[in-house]
């Protein structure tokens, strides 16, 4: 078990390759589209160029890029791999077929992990002979700059496999969160869906415009959420901690939650409103430029947070 296999070299797959290579692990990347593999060296070089100024390309950026190698068959990618990270289409039948192929090829000790954003492993791996080594390792886009990874084992996943996966992700510098049981969308996307639904409702019903909504998160909740979660936030928002906060404000928050938006908020009307707000920055080349800006900001934030953590550790 000498390397990591990346199955699918799209945006998420490339990010995963960078994560493991930056941590010093050899990476083999396979994609069914040869053109995608042909572009891989240039894509990785671009990621190095973008992240190295912020210390996010490893101690030796050139070595990081050199550890990533494209291969022409899944067999070559999987041979001797400790973990295979699949990042294919979010289509159930496609994922079932792909995992059946991987399960037939990979050695029994190779962990098969999916980057699925919402599909549970029990839905696409439940009939496989090697299902006990299958789980979801859901990243956030882009995974090389946002470190959390949600590990969602199925009821049939061997606990020892879950622990090995957790250790592999942690060794690569990610922050693994192990779900205690399966749920559609895992944790992050379920939280994101609720925030997005209420945001869309507030916009469509005229309480706030698109910019005002984004400013509320960007310059409000998001400032704290960059370095602490909502549970720690409420723990610091009352003299007696989280229990005191919920005693003081729980009834008020429950009332607000009772009227909060759900699936009905995702309407064509609000899609038109939000789309219009970004009409002048939604051309593909503009979106790509903005994505590059976002990633540079995330790299700078990662550098800052790492420096703060180092400072805090030195004070202990």
Looking at every residue in the chain, the average pLDDT score rounds to: 96
What is the rounded distance in angstroms from the CA atom of residue 37 to the CA atom of residue 276? 36
Residues of the chain with pLDDT > 90: what percent?
Answer: 96
Domain 187-274 has CATH 1.10.10.10: no
What is the rounded distance in angstroms from the CA atom of residue 243 to the CA atom of residue 253? 14
pTM, to two decimals: 0.93
The answer to whether the peptide bond before residue 142 is cis (omega within 30 degrees of 0) is yes
Determine how β-strand 111-114 pairs with β-strand 26-30. Answer: unpaired
What is the rounded distance in angstroms from the CA atom of residue 34 to the CA atom of residue 191? 37
Beta bridge partners of 4: 27, 83
pLDDT at 168: 98
Confidence bin at 309 (pLDDT 50/70/90): confident
pLDDT tens-digit series, residues 212-223: 999 999 999 999
Determine how β-strand 26-30 pairs with β-strand 3-7. Answer: parallel
Residue 7 has pLDDT above 90, yes or no: yes
What is the rounded distance in angstroms from the CA atom of residue 13 to the CA atom of residue 115? 9
Terminal alpha carbon distance of the chain:
37
pLDDT at 235: 97
pLDDT at 316: 67
pLDDT at 79: 96
- Sign of the Cα torsion 203, 206, 208, 211 reads positive
Burial of 310 (0-12, 13-18, 19+ CB in 10 A): exposed
What is the rounded distance in angstroms from the CA atom of residue 28 to the CA atom of residue 176? 22
CATH number attached to the domain at 3-178: 3.40.50.720
- Residues 44, 62 contacting (CB under 8 angstroms): no
pLDDT at 315: 73
Q: Name the CA radius of gyration of the chain, rounded.
A: 21
What is the rounded distance in angstroms from the CA atom of residue 122 to the CA atom of residue 130? 12
Confidence bin at 1 (pLDDT 50/70/90): low
DSSP state of 135: E
Mean pLDDT, range 159-188, rounded to an integer: 97
pLDDT tens-digit series, residues 258-307: 989 999 999 999 999 999 999 999 999 999 999 999 999 999 999 999 99
Q: 3-state DSSP call for residue 128? A: coil
- Alpha helices by DSSP H, listed for the chain, are 11-22, 34-51, 61-66, 74-78, 92-105, 121-124, 159-171, 188-204, 210-216, 222-225, 230-235, 242-258, 268-277, 284-315
Mean pLDDT, range 148-160, rounded to an integer: 98
Largest CA distance in the chain: 60
């Amino acid at each position: 078990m000498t390397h990591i296999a990346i199955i699918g070299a799209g945006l998420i797959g490339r990010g995963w390759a960078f994560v493991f290579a930056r941590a010093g692990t050899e990476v083999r990347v396979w994609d069914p589209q040869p053109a995608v593999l042909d572009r891989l060296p240039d894509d990785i070089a671009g990621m190095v160029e973008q992240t190295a100024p912020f210390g996010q390309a490893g101690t030796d950026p050139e070595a990081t890029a050199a550890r990533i190698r494209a291969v022409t068959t899944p067999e070559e990618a999987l041979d001797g791999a400790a973990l295979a990270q699949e990042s294919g289409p979010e289509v159930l039948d496609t994922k079932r077929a792909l995992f059946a192929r991987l399960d037939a090829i990979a050695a029994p000790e190779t962990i098969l992990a999916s980057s699925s954003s919402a599909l549970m492993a029990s839905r696409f791996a439940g009939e496989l002979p090697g299902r006990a080594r299958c789980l979801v390792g859901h990243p956030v886009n882009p995974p090389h700059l946002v470190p959390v990874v949600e590990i969602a084992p199925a009821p049939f996943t061997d606990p020892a496999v879950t622990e090995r996966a957790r250790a592999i992700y942690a060794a690569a510098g990610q922050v693994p969160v192990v779900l205690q049981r399966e749920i559609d969308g895992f944790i992050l996307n379920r939280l994101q869906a609720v925030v997005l639904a209420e945001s869309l409702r507030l916009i469509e019903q005229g309480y706030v415009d698109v910019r005002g909504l984004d400013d509320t998160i960007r310059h409000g909740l998001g400032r704290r959420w960059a370095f602490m979660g909502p549970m720690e936030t409420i723990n610091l928002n009352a003299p007696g901690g989280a229990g005191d906060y919920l005693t003081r404000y729980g009834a008020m928050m429950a009332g607000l939650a009772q009227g909060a938006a759900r699936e009905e908020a995702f309407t064509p009307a609000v899609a038109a409103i939000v789309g219009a707000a970004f009409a002048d920055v939604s051309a593909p080349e503009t979106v790509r430029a903005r994505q590059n800006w976002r990633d540079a900001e995330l790299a700078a934030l990662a550098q800052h947070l790492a420096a703060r953590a180092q400072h805090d550790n030195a004070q202990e």
